[in-house]
Amino acid sequence: MMNLKYLAPSVSLSFAIIFSCAAVEPAPPASSARDIASRLSAQQEGASYVRMLLEIKQPADNKKIALQVQIKERRTKTAADVVYQVLWPKERKGEAVLLHQTQGRSPTGALLVPPDKPRPLTAAQMSDPLFGSNLAFQDVIEDFFAWENQAIVGSEIVNSVNCVILESKPGKVDHSIYGSVRSWIDARRLVPLRVEKLLPSGKLARRIDTTRVAPDDRGRSIPANLAVQGGKDNSTTELDGSRIKHDVNYTDHDFSPDGLAETPAPQSPPK
């Protein structure tokens, strides 16, 4: 484990992927911890689609694994459904993960590795790696900005940007493998530039850095590229979100074990 941190934030590209695949209309700069957290949590609501490149790099032997992945996401204030599906390379096409979490309950889901049938994922498996990356299943489903306890614990400059440091801790009804999460937030743009996830023991588990901020399909600033460390020794996972769409159409079948074998991109609703 590294000695340092938010991925694949929720890192749930949260951060548009792990934090959120949505955006909100411009608003006055957030001030209090609760205001910052609630606005970041609200950004995650809705239905979205992301196409990204996921690269796992191991400097020790210069090994690199590259996957093209599509993400389907549907979130409300009380529930979240997420599907990650491998599109490329050919030998891994069809691998998929389905995750679901309802407020007040631990996440669950299903894992598909062809030619086998989907098998259940339990709450005890949420610390397992996503497609062998530095991200855990927990990272791409939970919304720690919605946790009961939020506090501003300092400020720091990250990439020449003044950031407030928001500390999120789960309350009695919040279920997570983490004991706390610290996020370095560009409060002006409301963009997380760094996230550190700590275990209940206080040990740093994962660190997620935003390496590029870009406009989304609505013209809002979001984290477009992420670098994730932790979870695995001597490796880094880099995420490059090449395409993002909001307000797409999904059905319950898209977020079911039977739907994991189907990989078409969703359609946007008529204008």
What does the pLDDT look like over 149-204, one tens digit per residue? Answer: 999 999 999 999 999 999 999 999 999 999 999 999 998 889 999 999 999 999 99
Ranges 136-140, 152-156, 238-242: which has the least confidence: 238-242
The CA radius of gyration of the chain, in Å to the nearest whole number, is 17
Query: In 3D, which of 172, 217, 225, 249 has the Cα closest to residue 14?
Result: 225
118 near 131, Cβ under 8 Å? no
Cα–Cα distance for residue pair 266/244, rounded to 1 Å: 11
Burial bucket for residue 59 (CB in 10 Å: 0-12, 13-18, 19+): exposed
* Residue found by looking up tokens 């700069």 in the block: 29
Q: What is the per-residue pLDDT for 29?
A: 55
Q: What is the per-residue pLDDT for 242?
A: 64
Q: What is the per-residue pLDDT for 210?
A: 95
Indicate the pTM of the whole model. 0.86
Please provide the average confidence, as pLDDT, over all residues in the chain: 86
Coil, helix or strand at residue 140: helix
Looking only at the bridges linking them, the beta strands covering 236-246 and 46-58 are antiparallel
Residue 36 phi, psi dihedral angles, 5° rounding: -60, -50
Ranges 15-29, 31-45, 67-81: which has the least confidence: 15-29
Complete domains list, the chain, with CATH: 33-261 (2.50.20.10)
Q: What is the per-residue pLDDT for 138?
A: 96
| Backbone conformation region of residue 190, classed left if phi is above 0, alpha if psi is from -120 to 50, else beta | left
Cα–Cα distance for residue pair 39/32, rounded to 1 Å: 11
Other C-beta atoms closer than 10 Å to the C-beta of 172 total 6
Coil, helix or strand at residue 229: strand
196 near 178, Cβ under 8 Å? no
Q: What is the per-residue pLDDT for 207?
A: 97
Which residues, other chains included, contact 62 with Cβ-Cβ below 8 Å and sequence gap of 6+? Answer: none
Residue 259 phi, psi dihedral angles, 5° rounding: -80, -10
pLDDT digits (tens, 9 = 90+) for 58-103: 876 667 899 999 999 999 999 999 999 999 999 999 999 999 999 9
Share of the chain above pLDDT 70, in %: 84
Q: What is the per-residue pLDDT for 220?
A: 72
